[in-house]
């Protein structure tokens, strides 16, 4: 039964991904510049891809040359293989450099693991400095993200946010009046970083970065930046003037194929979440007494989660699958 479910899900993901989004990629230097890391960022000879590295001296990262008020932001990412405990690779939007106390943020965070265990992916949404109300979700992946590059995308519109993996939507956050300032609304830049998250990234900090396996290298390609570029006035005051300035870009954004959630895409999203989501803030009654307004909870679905938001079944099913793999019981490297 499990194998048949996996087959159906895989077929559905392939079918959705076959209609890949037609979005032009840009060379690195046309849209980005190095943020930190000196020699730990290496451009490809053709300028179409870039590698960022973490070693015992530094991580590294890059930032978009412009900030954007809404848009579609995408990159194909290949993650480091082997022992990667404590390593964090991030692809995200933020305006923390402009709004230190009330910043907005949209995150893809990739959390490394001990040898033989999988990378985990975390998404998050912050608006107006709402870091005390983090909207985390975590997932496993239906592929090995270290073998080849896969596309990760963030769609940010005035009304909803969608996170994509290989053109399959995995999470949708719909804006509501109840969210108030928790919905990101100010222009943001796009970032990519790799850094040492030993204090929390793997089993709550139990397993830390081991630099005998360094350098840890993440490769970014197929870089996409589509949205309304925000000048300094809009950056500080995204008001009606900004809406007028960005009207054409907003229309193009909202009518693009990646902004239209068809029944097929919604079915793929539902199946992905059922099979690969390991945690959702929507069912975390330990951290939060009240459910977030954008959560569409249902009693039958809630039964599949513990009170602290962890899935009762995904990790267990994955452990059973791992036990059947050769060498799965091998001890992790120290």
* Active-site residue list: 105, 109
Q: Look at the alpha carbons of 314, 319, 320, 321 in this order and tell me if their dihedral is positive or negative.
A: positive
**Contact, 75 vs 91, CB < 8 A?**
yes
Residues paired with residue 60 on neighbouring β-strands, in sequence order: 194
Q: Look at the alpha carbons of 275, 276, 277, 279 in this order and tell me if their dihedral is positive or negative.
A: positive
Q: How big is the CA angle at 53 (ends 52 and 56), to the nearest 5 degrees? A: 155
**Contact, 87 vs 205, CB < 8 A?**
no
* Sequence-distant (≥ 6) Cβ neighbours of residue 16 within 8 angstroms: 167, 168, 264, 265, 268
- CA nearest neighbour of 80 among 200, 222, 204, 194: 194
Q: Look at the alpha carbons of 300, 301, 303, 307 in this order and tell me if their dihedral is positive or negative.
A: negative
Task: Give the integer Cα–Cα distance in Å for 183 and 175.
Answer: 7
Alpha-carbon radius of gyration of the chain: 20
Tokens for 125, please give them.
């949404």
- Where helices occur in 277-313 by DSSP H, the ranges are 299-302
DSSP at 79:
P
* Sequence-distant (≥ 6) Cβ neighbours of residue 126 within 8 angstroms: 103, 104, 105, 106, 134, 135, 182, 184
């Amino acid at each position: 039964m499990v194998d048949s479910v996996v087959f159906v899900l895989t077929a559905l993901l392939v079918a959705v991904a076959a209609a890949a989004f037609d979005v032009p990629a840009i060379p690195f230097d046309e849209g980005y510049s190095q943020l930190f890391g000196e020699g730990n960022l290496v451009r490809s000879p053709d300028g179409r891809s870039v590698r960022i590295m973490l070693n015992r001296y530094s991580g590294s990262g890059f930032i978009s040359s412009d900030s954007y008020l809404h848009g579609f932001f995408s990159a194909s990412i290949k993650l480091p293989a082997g022992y990667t405990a404590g390593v964090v690779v991030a692809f995200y939007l933020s305006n923390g450099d402009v709004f230190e106390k009330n910043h907005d943020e949209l995150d893809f965070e990739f959390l490394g693991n001990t040898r033989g265990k999988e990378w985990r992916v975390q998404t998050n949404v912050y608006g107006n400095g709402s870091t005390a109300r983090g909207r985390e979700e975590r997932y496993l992946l239906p592929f090995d993200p270290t073998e080849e590059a896969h596309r990760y995308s963030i769609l940010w519109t005035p009304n909803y946010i969608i996170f994509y993996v290989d053109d399959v939507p995995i999470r949708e956050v719909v804006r509501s009046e109840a969210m108030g300032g928790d919905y990101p609304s100010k222009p943001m830049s796009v970032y990519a970083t790799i850094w040492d998250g030993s204090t929390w990234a793997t089993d709550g900090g139990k397993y830390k970065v081991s630099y005998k396996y360094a350098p840890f290298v993440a490769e970014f390609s197929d870089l996409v930046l589509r949205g309304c570029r925000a000048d300094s006035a809009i950056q500080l005051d995204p008001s009606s003037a900004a809406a007028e300035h960005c009207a054409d870009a907003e229309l193009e954004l909202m009518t693009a194929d990646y902004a239209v959630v068809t029944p097929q895409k919604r079915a793929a999203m539902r199946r992905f979440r059922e099979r690969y989501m390991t945690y959702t803030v929507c069912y975390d009654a330990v951290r939060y007494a009240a459910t977030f307004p954008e959560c569409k909870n249902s009693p039958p679905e809630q039964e599949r989660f513990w009170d602290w938001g962890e899935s009762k079944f995904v990790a267990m099913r994955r452990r059973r699958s791992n036990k059947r793999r050769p060498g799965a019981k091998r001890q992790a490297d120290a």
